Structure 1
Amino acid sequence: MSTVNTDNAPRPVGAYPHARRVGNLLFLSGVGPRRAADNAVPGNVFDEHGTLVGYDIQSQCEQVFANVQAVLEASGATIANLVDITVYLTDMTRDFATYNAAYAKFFTGVDACRTTVGIDCLPTPIAIELKCVAWIDS
């Protein structure tokens, strides 16, 4: 077993690695849309009191997909190695169509299984998070 961490993805928000490899399986920890460079969430809009008042799901989708790709690359894998993806959306009704189109564009040719779950919130002010499993040949 080995753990993977990379400076090309945002730091985890807790005490866990970006990914862990067990045999030929690679398990990615939940990946959000924060940028690695500044820890900011693209598309978030805050009022003068620092309260989140809006977000751009397209921007968050593009960033979270790039973050997943960065963790995969640090692990010696690509998006083609993905076998299972669980996606968490905080507003399924508002965001599913945009997310689904962005997903189809980014993951073209990827035959991973996918589950999308609507949830109330995530631990930071993000609207999407991905949990992925990949297969890496020895």
Structure 2
Amino acid sequence: MSKFIFKSFNVVSAPKPIGPYSSGVRVNDTLYLSGVIGIDAKTDKLVNGGIISETEQIFKNIEILLKANDSSFNKGLVNAKIYLDDISNAAVVNEIYQKYIKPPFPARCMVEVTKLPLNAKIEVEVMALINQCRL
């Protein structure tokens, strides 16, 4: 029987979780990151400036979490889930998304929700592989 690795983690340079959960979980060579909102790790507060500032901060935070686990947007990302408080912001989010994530794009969904933690405008959850390269 193969060895099963299950490890939850937080990363010092990324924002702390705001509830009873880990920033992510590693199961063998797969990372499952918890939903990330636009919190600045230095202040532990949601960044000001609305959807653009929050989205930029989210992708910076996710990048930190991926790198800390030997992964990256273009090396291991296989799935992204994006939750918006207003789906009319999809075009703005897509523009920022493409600054960080290049083709071939991972699987993804984007949905509008009623409310997000700390009244954030966006939350992003991802799944990525460790030590793998997307074609």
Q: Shorter chain as normaliser: what TM range?
A: 0.7 to 0.9
The residue correspondences of 1:1-138 to structure 2 (distance < 5 A) are 1-43=6-48, 55-80=49-74, 81-93=76-88, 95-109=89-103, 111-137=105-131
What is the Cα deviation at residue 14 of structure 1? 0.8
What is the Cα deviation at residue 110 of structure 1? 5.2
User: Identity percentage over the alignment?
Assistant: 31
Where in structure 1 are there 5+ consecutive unaligned residues?
44-54
Q: Deviations over 1:45-80 (max 9, x none)?
A: xxxxxxxxxx52111110000011111112121112
Provide the TM-score with structure 2 as the length reference: 0.87
- The 8 Å contact of residues 6 and 71 in structure 1, kept in 2 or not, is answered as yes
SS at match of 1:117: strand
Aligned mates of 1:66, 1:2 — CA distance in 2: 23
CA RMSD of aligned residues (A): 1.5
Aligned mates of 1:110, 1:25 — CA distance in 2: 19
Aligned mates of 2:10, 2:70 — CA distance in 1: 12
Provide the TM-score with structure 1 as the length reference: 0.85
Number of matched residues? 126
- The 8 Å contact of residues 31 and 64 in structure 1, kept in 2 or not, is answered as yes
- The 8 Å contact of residues 69 and 130 in structure 2, kept in 1 or not, is answered as no
Aligned mates of 1:96, 1:111 — CA distance in 2: 16
